[in-house]
A and B are shown apart, each in its own frame.
Chain A
């Protein structure tokens, strides 16, 4: 055996030994990185998402963010030209590239639930209204799908549930106040949340049939905490009437908002 061949063999043995040894160093490090949310947890995903994620990782190497940004610019161009379906389709790919970037999910939701729905011309003819409402609700539902997708990757992000609450309270026809209240409650329970989601949950509960007492208790507690915005007072006034709260227990303020 020549010296060169012998050295080649030694190099090969070094690489194989190192390769085998480092697997046991790298695997816990990789698991730790998933636990700390540097990468999405592919193990907990559904098959479709998992294939998408793993494929993207392998195929695009370290350039996922760059590709995502280029696609975001393309989506913007589609949006600018009023091609909402293309823009939304682009965003379904972008969110696979950067699943932990809330902004991408949010943008996809905006394009679908707000911009696309605004592009539907309200029909003068009453016969066409049902079709209009169906198309409108489909677009809002796709927006909600973006937020539900985001919730899989960012389960503790209050903004996701806040947006879902808003879609159910303001966008769907007719509004689903009970679901909106539930989402606002989830937003209020998230870490680093904003205080207004707590009272938003109360407003939505007040509109949800059968939940008036719960709404009253929540808003009364808000009021007692010295948070006395116009909407809080207005809803309390309405609930006091509806629930026949004794005069002595009612709040002294009367809202000008009807």
Chain B
């Protein structure tokens, strides 16, 4: 490069091109290291990619399962029917959200590599952590939308079934009253009637059910972040899926290791350090297990939900940061 060329390269653009008007938008906008709009574009791309893989077909199975459960067991008591319906629906939600979180996320990076989309994205000035963040958020949006559908269907079916059961029970008592009018004067009989109706309402549609649905979503979110982290260093999709399932299972027993480690019990060989390692490495999924309590009629405190949500944000932040470090210089 001679002196003239050097001077020209260092000179402002307008001097080089001869353009002296207002600065062009493309040139004035400096490339930022973090762009929410880029992340949003990647998020929506991931969401669309998954939708095109026909993942929402599972909703048909979910609908069939809960409608079947809602109207099949006609010889159960009303409380038993509603409990069964809630158990199965929330269990199915948990199962589908877990499958999405593990299988869907495990497929993300290999699919982008196979379609060559990954190279198209990363050859542009898109930082790798933005790519990962976009993928993570895309999966979270997908899980959230699926859960919205499932929740709406679940609430509708529980609400309808509850109304039918309340009406049937009230009718049964009314028929008894018509047959034995003297029972209308019997306080115990009246109390029994009120108790039966209250029991159905207690097992029916309540706001606390939404807390259980939210906890399922949060657990699936952590699982998504874990799977994304594993997929950044995994060599095959199968490895990612199996490892993530293992983390999921161990994560439900992690609290045992943690309690033992923190209990201060005298060290017995390698047991306590091993418990500590398990507690440190694996996330605690047991913290999200409130479904049983909610189905049994326990009220869920708002502070607990806030704590749970805060913990989830922390998990997402840390696991995504770790995944970014692993992925940042990975040969693709």
Question: Which residues does A use to contact B, with CB under 8 Å?
Answer: 2-4, 7-8, 10-12, 14-16, 18-20, 22-23, 25-27, 29-30, 32-33, 36-39, 54, 57-69, 72-73, 76, 80, 98, 100-103, 107, 194-196, 229
Within residues 305 to 332 of chain B, which ones have a CB less than 8 A from any CB in chain A? 307, 311, 314, 318-319, 321-323, 325-326, 328-331
Contact code string B272-311 (vs A, CB < 8 Å = 1, else 0): 0000000111001111111111011010110010010001
Number of A-B contacts (CB under 8 A): 166
**Pairwise interchain contact B318-A14, C-beta atoms closer than 8 A:** yes
* B298, closest chain A residue (CB): A37
Residues of A within 8 A of B95 (CB): 63, 66
Residues of A within 8 A of B255 (CB): 26, 30
* A29, closest chain B residue (CB): B307
Provide the bound-state CA to CA distance between A194 and B196, in Å.
13
Residues of A within 8 A of B322 (CB): 11-12, 14-15
Residues of A within 8 A of B75 (CB): 76, 80
Q: Besides the contacts A8-B325, A61-B248, A61-B249, what 8 more A-B pairs have beta carbons closer than 8 Å? A: A11-B321, A22-B311, A25-B311, A38-B290, A62-B285, A65-B292, A66-B91, A98-B295
Would A36 and B188 be within 8 Å (CB), given that A8-B325, A26-B284, A101-B83 are in contact? no
Provide the bound-state CA to CA distance between A165 and B194, in Å.
22
**Pairwise interchain contact A62-B291, C-beta atoms closer than 8 A:** yes
**Pairwise interchain contact A33-B328, C-beta atoms closer than 8 A:** no
Q: Is B92 located at the chain interface by the 8 A CB criterion?
A: yes
Residues of B within 8 A of A32 (CB): 304
Interface CB pairs A-B, < 8 A, 19? A8-B326, A10-B325, A11-B321, A18-B314, A19-B281, A20-B280, A23-B262, A26-B311, A29-B287, A30-B255, A33-B290, A39-B289, A62-B216, A62-B252, A62-B291, A73-B73, A76-B73, A98-B296, A196-B191
Q: Is B258 located at the chain interface by the 8 A CB criterion?
A: yes
Q: Is B180 located at the chain interface by the 8 A CB criterion?
A: no
* A58, closest chain B residue (CB): B253
Q: Is B256 located at the chain interface by the 8 A CB criterion?
A: yes
Residues of A within 8 A of B289 (CB): 38-39, 57, 62, 64
Q: Is B87 located at the chain interface by the 8 A CB criterion?
A: yes
Residues of A within 8 A of B281 (CB): 15-16, 19
**Pairwise interchain contact B329-A3, C-beta atoms closer than 8 A:** yes
Provide the bound-state CA to CA distance between A229 and B262, in Å.
58
Q: Is B112 located at the chain interface by the 8 A CB criterion?
A: no
Q: Is B236 located at the chain interface by the 8 A CB criterion?
A: no
Question: Which residues does B use to contact A, with CB under 8 Å?
Answer: 73, 75-76, 79-80, 83-84, 87-88, 90-92, 94-95, 98, 187-188, 191, 195, 216, 219, 233, 248-249, 251-253, 255-256, 258-259, 261-262, 279-281, 284-293, 295-296, 298, 300-301, 304, 307, 311, 314, 318-319, 321-323, 325-326, 328-331
Residues of B within 8 A of A4 (CB): 329-331
Provide the bound-state CA to CA distance between A73 and B277, in Å.
40
Q: How far is the CB of B142 from chain A (nearest CB, A)?
A: 19
Q: How far is the CB of B265 from chain A (nearest CB, A)?
A: 13
Provide the bound-state CA to CA distance between A65 and B92, in Å.
10
Q: How far is the CB of A162 from chain B (nearest CB, A)?
A: 11
**Pairwise interchain contact B295-A19, C-beta atoms closer than 8 A:** no
Q: How far is the CB of A188 from chain B (nearest CB, A)?
A: 14
Where chain B touches its partner, the secondary structure class is helix
Most B CB within 10 A of own CB, among A33, A60, A73: A33
**Pairwise interchain contact A65-B80, C-beta atoms closer than 8 A:** no
Provide the bound-state CA to CA distance between A25 and B287, in Å.
11
Partner of B326 from the list A11, A19, A61, A65 (CB cut-off 8 Å) is A11
**Pairwise interchain contact B262-A27, C-beta atoms closer than 8 A:** yes
Q: How far is the CB of B136 from chain A (nearest CB, A)?
A: 15
**Pairwise interchain contact B92-A66, C-beta atoms closer than 8 A:** yes
Residues of A within 8 A of B79 (CB): 103
Provide the bound-state CA to CA distance between A30 and B233, in Å.
32
Provide the bound-state CA to CA distance between A26 and B258, in Å.
9
Residues of B within 8 A of A100 (CB): 292-293, 296, 298
Residues of A within 8 A of B219 (CB): 62
Would A101 and B187 be within 8 Å (CB), given that A11-B326, A62-B288 are in contact? no
Provide the bound-state CA to CA distance between A57 and B253, in Å.
7
Q: How far is the CB of B12 from chain A (nearest CB, A)?
A: 35
Provide the bound-state CA to CA distance between A201 and B160, in Å.
39
* A10, closest chain B residue (CB): B325
Provide the bound-state CA to CA distance between A63 and B92, in Å.
9
Provide the bound-state CA to CA distance between A37 and B95, in Å.
24
Partner of B287 from the list A15, A26, A36 (CB cut-off 8 Å) is A26
Q: How far is the CB of A160 from chain B (nearest CB, A)?
A: 14
Provide the bound-state CA to CA distance between A229 and B330, in Å.
82
Most A CB within 10 A of own CB, among B287, B288, B301: B287
Provide the bound-state CA to CA distance between A66 and B295, in Å.
11
Provide the bound-state CA to CA distance between A134 and B279, in Å.
51
**Pairwise interchain contact B326-A7, C-beta atoms closer than 8 A:** yes
Q: How far is the CB of A189 from chain B (nearest CB, A)?
A: 19
Provide the bound-state CA to CA distance between A143 and B92, in Å.
32
**Pairwise interchain contact B262-A8, C-beta atoms closer than 8 A:** no
Residues of A within 8 A of B328 (CB): 7
